[in-house]
Structure 1
Amino acid sequence: MQPSTGLPQELLDKIIDGLHDEPDALKPCALASRLLLERSQSHLFFTIRIHYPKASSRLLEVLKNNRRICQYIRELIVRKDESGLHDPDLIHVIRMLASLESLAIHGDDIKWNRLFSKEMTDTLVHLVRQPSVTTLRISNGHLVPFDFLAVHKHLSSLQLRSSILAFSRMQVPLVSEMTTDSWN
Structure 2
Amino acid sequence: MSVSSPVLPQELLDKVIDDLQDDFEALKVCTLTSRSLLGRSQINLFFAIRISNLQRCRRLRSVLEGNPLLSERVRELEVVDFIKWVKGDTDLPYILRATVLLRSLCVESSEDPLLWPMVPKDTVDALTSAFCRPTLCNLRMSMIRDFPVHLLGLEMNLAHLSLREVVLNPGTLDTTGHVDFSRTSAHTVEVCLDMPFLSDLAPYQAVAAKPCSFTSRIRNLVIHNTGMTMFLAVPFVESAAGSLETIQLRERPSVNLERPRWFKYDFSTLRYLRRLELHFMLGFHSRNEFRHLTSVALRRMIDFFVDNRSATRVKQINVRFIPWWNPSWQAPESQWVLDILDIKNSWSELDRILDAGRGSGESAGFRVGIELGLPILDKQEFIYGPVDEWRGGIEEKMDVWREMIHTLMPLASGAGVLVTDVIADVDSR
Give yes or no for TM over 0.5: yes
Residue pairs, 1:127-138, within 5 angstroms: 127-138=130-141
Partners of 2:23 and 2:73 lie apart in 1 by: 16
The CA distance in 2 between the partners of 1:178 and 1:160, in whole Å, is 17
Q: How far apart, in 2, do the equivalents of 1:158 and 1:141 lie?
A: 15
Contact 1:159 1:181 in 2 (8 A): no
- Which residue number in structure 2 is paired with residue 7 of structure 1? 8
Q: Which runs of 5+ in 1 are unaligned?
A: none
Pairwise CA RMSD = 1.9
Taking structure 1 as the reference length, the TM-score comes to 0.89
What letter is aligned with 2:20?
L
- Please name the residue that 1:154 is paired with: 157
Cα shift readout 1:69-111 (whole Å, capped 9, x = no counterpart): 1111011111202344221111111111110011100024131
The match for 2:217 is 178
Conservation of the 8 A alpha-carbon contact between 2:53 and 2:84: no
2:21 is matched with 20
Give 3-state SS (helix, strand or coil) of 1:182's partner: strand
Distance 1:38 1:71, change over 3 A: same
More off after superposition, 59-68 vs 172-181: 172-181
**TM-score, length of structure 2 as denominator length:** 0.40
Letter in 1 for 2:77: L
Which string of whole-angstrom CA distances, capped at 9 and with x for unpartnered residues, describes residues 41-74 of structure 1? 1011111111111111111110011111111101
CA shift in 2, pair 1:181/1:27, >3 Å: farther
Match of 1:141 among 137, 141, 144: 144
Distance change (3 Å), C-alpha of 1:104 and 1:54: same
Question: Between Structure 1 and Structure 2, whose CA radius of gyration is higher?
Answer: 2
Structure with larger RCO (C-alpha < 8 A, sep 6+):
1
Q: CA deviation at 1:151?
A: 4.6
* Identical counterparts, % of pairs: 36
Q: SS of 1:162's equivalent?
A: strand
1:152, distance to aligned residue in structure 2 (A): 3.5
Instruction: Using the TM superposition, give the Cα deviation of residue 118 of structure 1 relative to its aligned residue in structure 2, in angstroms.
Output: 1.7
Aligned residues: 180
C-alpha distance in 1 between matches for 2:10 and 2:24: 20
Q: Report deviation, 1:134.
A: 1.0
Aligned to 2:83: 81
Q: Which position in structure 2 is the counterpart of 1:59?
A: 60
Query: Quick check: 2:75–2:103 contact (8 Å CA) kept in 1?
Result: yes
**Contact residue 45 and residue 69 of structure 1 kept, 8 A:** yes
The gaps in structure 2 that reach 5 residues or longer are 183-211, 224-249, 251-429
- State the distance in 2 between where 1:43 and 1:109 align: 32
Equivalence for 1:47: 48
Q: Which residue of 2 aligns with 1:29?
A: 30
1:165 aligns with 2:168: yes
Q: Return the letter of the residue paired with 1:130.
A: R
What CA deviation, in whole Å up to 9, does each residue of 1:139-168 have, x standing for no partner?
Answer: 000011234321545111000111101263
Partner letter of residue 144 of structure 1?
A: F
